[in-house]
Amino acid sequence: MVTINSANNKTAAVGTILQGQGIATASEYSTATYPSVAGTSGKILISDGTNIVSSTPTYPNTSGGAGVILRSDGTNNVYTTATYPSTTTINQFLYSSAANVISGLATANNGVLVTSAAGVPSVLAAGTAGAILRSGAPAAWSTTTYPNTNAINTILYASAANVMSALATANKGVLVTSATGVPSILTTGGTAGQVLQSTAAAAPAFSTATYPLTTTSQQILYSTAANTVGELTTANSKFPATNAAGTLAMRALSVVIQTFVAGGTYTPTSGMLFCVVEMCGPGGGGGGVAVCTAAQSAQAGAGGAGEYARGVFSAATVGASQAVTCPAGGAGGAAGANNGTAGANTTALGALITAFGGAGGAGAAAAAGGQTTAGGAGGTGGAGGSFRSPGQPGGNSTGSFAVFSMMGNGGSSPFGGGALGLVAGAAGTAAGGNGAGGGGALGFNSVARAGGNGSSAIIVVTEYVIA
């Protein structure tokens, strides 16, 4: 039985409902109103904050399939096609394990979410300390470990199998490896101009020697001092050579000739490497003839030429200087039946090479009949050098008064012609040039006559000079 509070004598508002107030208190009408008729199918009663009204969206009237959830489709609330797990554990991931099936994926401590080649997600457990995640099917932790931190400009390298380590660099260093392949940064040495060199049993190292930073065209590199490689600029028509002190420079080759026809001193030209010495001893004098009376004649012999010698000598052999002996030619025999004088011996460069002079021609006495007088022998017997040749002998003279006269020529040398034999009575003719024999005198019913002089010795020094 409901007791109504009639004392208040209230009139109920439209849509209100009578509500009990407890056993001891009379019932009252509700403040909120309620709809008087049923709403649209699927709607529910909800409070709008003041009254009770039918909901705008609809809700399903029956329970959905196992695992589905109620969600808004934007207008009404419907059950999902996808199913969801009824329970989960802590730290699980929800993922679509099949079409319209949401499943739970358990995590792992310090793991990484990865997917298989088919896109199935899984949690990869923590790898070894220092390992990194690398792509694969599925992705996996690397067997190789890497450092956790690294300083600026460090280089990573495999310090052991499957262990990557950091190698600290250094300013202006070079990466090298030891004999066992261990890398390091070479920082020792490295003076300006040094180069990196390989060693047989250790890591490469900087050279002790320094090299130029730049070069120009046609330069030659050479050691200018201990452990210092410098540059030598070439020059046209020259070649690199050292002087007596061993200094390398671009030098020119020249030929200098020094000639001696009298005694003196040979001083090599500066820069002389070697010299060729050619020399010829003096020629002998021709013979003289005695007084010839009527129906008498005298034909004297001609002087012989000096010996020729040749030698090649280095600057070291010659030294600073050498004496030169270069005598005059042998004198012709004095008027009368006197022999010509032999040419003296000739020496060049001290005693390094000598050449002997030619012998004098024989003098001739007056004779009414025929006579023959010997010419002087060519010079021979010298020493030193590499080649020598005896001098040409003087010619013999022969004749007979008023019948014939044949006068021999003086011996000729490579440096001068011997005197020609006379065709008329006269004193002997002097030799020309150097090293040649003088002519013999010729007399016909005449006074005594002297022989011709031989020509002087000669020394020719051909120097090959680098300067």
What residue ranges do the domains of the chain occupy? 1-7+14-74, 219-250, 252-467
Nearest alpha carbon to residue 374 among 361, 365, 357, 393? 361
Using DSSP bridges, classify how beta strands 397-400 and 228-233 pair: parallel, antiparallel or unpaired: unpaired
CA distance 438 to 361: 8
Q: What is the pLDDT of residue 46?
A: 86
Quote the CA–CA distance of 193 and 109 in Å, as a whole number.
Answer: 58
Q: Is 380 helix (H, G, I), strand (E, B) or coil?
A: coil
Interval 199-220 mean pLDDT:
80
Q: Which string of b and e fits 373-403 if b means at least 16 CB within 10 Å?
A: bbbbbbbbebebbeebbbbbbbbbbbbebee
Transcribe 101-145 into DSSP letters.
Answer: EEEEE---TT-EEEE-TT--EEEEPP-STTEEEE-SSS-EEEEEE
pLDDT greater than 80 at residue 187: no
Q: Is 70 helix (H, G, I), strand (E, B) or coil?
A: strand
Range of 96-100, 329-333, 367-371 with top mean pLDDT: 329-333
Q: Which tokens go with 159?
A: 């310090």
Comparing 300 with 111, the larger pLDDT belongs to 300
First CA to last CA across the chain, in angstroms? 149
Query: What backbone phi and psi angles, to 5 degrees, belong to 318?
Result: -70, -45
Q: In whole angstroms, give the CA distance from residue 289 to residue 403.
A: 18
In angstroms, the Cα distances linking 341 to 287, 307, 338, 387, 390 are: 8, 16, 9, 26, 18
Please name the residues in contact with 38: beta carbons below 8 A apart, sequence gap of 6 or more. none
Q: Where are the beta strands (DSSP E) in 213-307?
A: 219-225, 228-233, 239-242, 248-251, 253-260, 264-266, 272-280, 297-299
Query: Hey, which of 31-40, 49-58, 154-163, 376-385 has the most confident mean pLDDT?
Result: 376-385
Query: 291-321 burial, b for 16+ CB within 10 Å, e for fewer?
Result: bbeeebbbbbbbbbbbbbbbbebebeebeee
The pLDDT tens digits for 344-365 are 988 888 889 999 999 999 999 9
pLDDT tens track for 273-298: 999 999 999 999 999 999 999 999 99
Are residues 31 and 10 in contact, defined by beta-carbon separation less than 8 angstroms?
no
Place of tokens 């600290």: 168
Contact 356, 313 (CB under 8 A): no
Rounded-to-integer distance, Cα 131 and Cα 157, Å: 15
Average pLDDT for residues 177-182, to the nearest whole number?
A: 82
Q: How confident is the model at residue 130 (pLDDT cuts 50, 70, 90)?
A: confident
Tell me if residue 315 falls in helix, strand or coil. helix
User: Which amino acid appears at position 418 of this protein?
Assistant: G
